[in-house]
Structure 1
Amino acid sequence: RAAVIGAVGTIAKAYVSLLNTTTVHNADALHRLVSSRPPGTPLLTVSNHMSTIDDPFMWGFKGFPITDSKLARWVLTAEDICFRNVFMSYMFRLGKCVPITRGAGIYQDHMNEALEVLSTGGWLHSFPEGKVAQDHQPIRRLKWGTASLIVRAPVTPIVLPIVHTGFEKVMPEKSFFGRRPPLPLCGKEIKIIVGEPVDFDLPGLKQVAAMIPQDTSFERKGWPTITPEGLDEAAQRWLYQKMSDKIQSAMESLRKTLLNLKQH
């Protein structure tokens, strides 16, 4: 694992710190939470998804310990892209990637792996928009998986939003005969902004959710009830949407701040 993370981290650092021009705003907040948060406290970073190289490249900026396998993040990755065969599965597992099956829902078995990372006080990264988009539009509606992890984690994680731009130019989806280039491009400008932790009143939100009346207007997916609050599927849907909206709002605020910084 140390060899794989060290090698991949070195490549990411070369592209981000040397071959492209990168500016990071509020990097100290990320540094601090990655290296010195309270023992046993999990960290959940969330970001927009501009390209297939966002992770690991977004951690390749100067001064960040991307090659340290003990500090490195775990990341939720698409099973159909990163785990297509035995070799890829082995390598991505060494790279601290957790497979997620698209369309399998928030209670799929792989989510238990993500919960295990959080339960041990680890750092997990998520792309809650669920897919790559290079159109520079406002942050899209978030999938509920990230919110469900926050609620179900034994210890509530610190949730840190990050927004970036420029990786869509380093690895454009359609530039090389209508496809991605064989290698990341150079000479581009990358900007990353790290926000402040999103503040949730989780006990209060759970209390409100528990009082949500039964709703039979949606197709039930058979979600288990969350104890001890007794949150049924209707309550969970309300709770996950409320939390996702707050994360989306924090990310959109960062996106607008980053746009203003680019214009100066």
Structure 2
Amino acid sequence: MRPEEQPEAPSGPWRAASAITMGAVGLLCKGFLNGLSKVETHGMDGFLKLLDEREDPERRERGLITVSNHISVMDDPILWGILPLPYIFSPDNLRWGLGSYDLCFTNKGLSTFFTFGQVLPTHRSAHSNFGGLFQPTITEAIRLLSRGPFMHEQDPPTKPATSVKSPDVIDPFSGGHLSFSTNGQDTFPAPSAYRSRRHAWVHIFPEGMIHQSEQRIMRYFKWGVSRLILESEPMPDIVPIFIEGFDNIMHETRTFPRFIPRPFQNVRVTFGEKLDADEVFGDLRARWKQMRAREEKRSGPLDMGVLNDALKYSDEAVSLRKECTRRIRQAVLDVRRQRGYPEDDPKNSLASTWLREGPHREGRKEDASITKDT
């Protein structure tokens, strides 16, 4: 796509539907938190100032990544109910999230709702052969954090399925070149195709699953977050967040009716300061750029978010992702420590530590914690 071909924004009906969806869900979450819960926030003024600076997409100079622990099935969207009212009706300045394909995108109705709610369809490796950190949705997230226009590696299907059982979603007022596919068969709008979506805000739960622990211990972080940090251009702003109390709203041991959030809980959200990303990740990004330049010199230019095998699987690429993931997890741990929790056991950052839980991914573990796929 040439710069002159990049549209400014999705169609008017699409923007209206997204604003209504985001606003309505935001109002429900805000009403629940303010009316039926006790909410305590720390560092929120600094975060709102950052959002204010990003209000005009034309003036944004970089994307925004927020990273937090994951303690309940309703962390997102309830978490964002803490935002003041003026913020929740501005989709261009609200978060994009990653939602499980097999839960949120199983039919056209759910796909439409979550797409309007700025959720990207994400395959989980435990449930799909299309999962992993190299799936097209991660590419789309990288592009959202960056500045377009971008070329599509391949065009999505030209005739999306019309069945209500199909997950396909399209903007009827836009062309097919503004879409992407997660598996070569489905079709979803590509938000990165629009100028108003450049340098967007992406929130991610790198643990990849719910972990409810009395000690607020975090599981290891998966490497997808490292791709967002290493590959987005320019370096995004990064804000670590630590959340507490949402597990009591939707605890995994809750009884009937399980689908109803439990009121009258104490909820705390602590925003860390915006990281000095160049100081924390600058050396890793420099090494990544050198590696990518070598590969492009050898095999030709690569589109944003598109990798060859060396950039995916080489020892150097793996090493960079591991170290980047370790550092961003430490940033969230630093916020956790501000809340008075003890130092984390370094072994908790290793996937091998959690393999000892055995083949059963979900349920109560030997340390009394509870895990759940989301």
Does the alignment reach a TM-score above 0.5? yes
Q: Structure 1, residues 189-215: CA drift from partner, whole Å, max 9, x if none?
A: 00010001233444422455769xxxx
CA contact (8 A) 2:62 2:233 kept: no
Greater shift, 200-209 or 123-132, is seen at 200-209
- Deviation (angstroms), 1:78: 1.4
Alpha-carbon distance between aligned partners in 2 of 1:75 and 1:2, rounded to the nearest angstrom: 16
Instruction: Report the TM-score when normalising by structure 2.
Output: 0.61
CA contact (8 A) 1:78 1:102 kept: yes
User: Residue 70 in 1 paired to residue 92 in 2?
Assistant: yes
Aligned sequence identity (%)? 30
Which 5+ residue runs of structure 2 have no aligned equivalent? 1-17, 126-130, 147-197, 292-306, 342-374
Which residue is equivalent to 1:113? 140
Match of 2:102 among 58, 80, 102: 80
- Residue 79 to residue 71, structure 1, CA distance change in 2 (3 Å): same
- Deviation (angstroms), 1:132: 0.7
Which residue is equivalent to 2:252? 173
- Residue 75 to residue 249, structure 1, CA distance change in 2 (3 Å): same
User: Residue 122 in 1 paired to residue 200 in 2?
Assistant: yes
Alpha-carbon distance between aligned partners in 2 of 1:114 and 1:184, rounded to the nearest angstrom: 29
The aligned runs of 1:136-147 (5 Å cut-off) are 136=214, 137-147=216-226
Alpha-carbon distance between aligned partners in 1 of 2:285 and 2:97, rounded to the nearest angstrom: 27
Which residue is equivalent to 2:209? 131
- Deviation (angstroms), 1:233: 2.2
Alignment size in residue pairs:
244
Which residue is equivalent to 2:265? 188
- Residue 100 to residue 62, structure 1, CA distance change in 2 (3 Å): closer
Match of 1:14 among 1, 17, 31: 31
- Deviation (angstroms), 1:232: 6.2
Alpha-carbon distance between aligned partners in 1 of 2:318 and 2:275, rounded to the nearest angstrom: 20
- Deviation (angstroms), 1:237: 1.1
- Residue 208 to residue 176, structure 1, CA distance change in 2 (3 Å): same
CA contact (8 A) 1:46 1:161 kept: yes
SS at structure 2 position matched to 1:181 = coil
Alpha-carbon distance between aligned partners in 1 of 2:65 and 2:260, rounded to the nearest angstrom: 29
Which residue is equivalent to 2:309? 224
SS at structure 1 position matched to 2:319 = helix
- Residue 258 to residue 223, structure 1, CA distance change in 2 (3 Å): farther
Alpha-carbon distance between aligned partners in 2 of 1:68 and 1:192, rounded to the nearest angstrom: 21
Greater shift, 45-54 or 197-206, is seen at 197-206
CA contact (8 A) 1:139 1:251 kept: no
Which residue is equivalent to 2:318? 237
SS at structure 1 position matched to 2:233 = coil
Q: Structure 1, residues 6-63: CA drift from partner, whole Å, max 9, x if none?
A: 1101001001122101011000121122221461310000111111111111111152
Which residue is equivalent to 2:120? 98
Which residue is equivalent to 1:23? 40
Which residue is equivalent to 1:219? none
Instruction: Report the TM-score when normalising by structure 1.
Output: 0.85
- Deviation (angstroms), 1:91: 0.5
Alpha-carbon distance between aligned partners in 1 of 2:319 and 2:333, rounded to the nearest angstrom: 21
Which 5+ residue runs of structure 1 have no aligned equivalent? 212-221
- Deviation (angstroms), 1:80: 1.6
CA contact (8 A) 1:51 1:132 kept: yes
CA contact (8 A) 1:163 1:251 kept: yes
- Deviation (angstroms), 1:70: 2.5
- Residue 39 to residue 206, structure 1, CA distance change in 2 (3 Å): closer
Q: Structure 1, residues 158-213: CA drift from partner, whole Å, max 9, x if none?
A: 11100111111111122115xx72211111100010001233444422455769xx
Greater shift, 15-24 or 131-140, is seen at 131-140
CA contact (8 A) 1:198 1:247 kept: no
CA contact (8 A) 1:118 1:153 kept: yes
What amino acid does structure 2 have at the position aligned with 1:198? L
Which residue is equivalent to 2:230? 151
Alpha-carbon distance between aligned partners in 1 of 2:61 and 2:100, rounded to the nearest angstrom: 27
User: Residue 252 in 1 paired to residue 344 in 2?
Assistant: no
The structure having more radius of gyration, on CA atoms, is 2
What amino acid does structure 2 have at the position aligned with 1:23? E
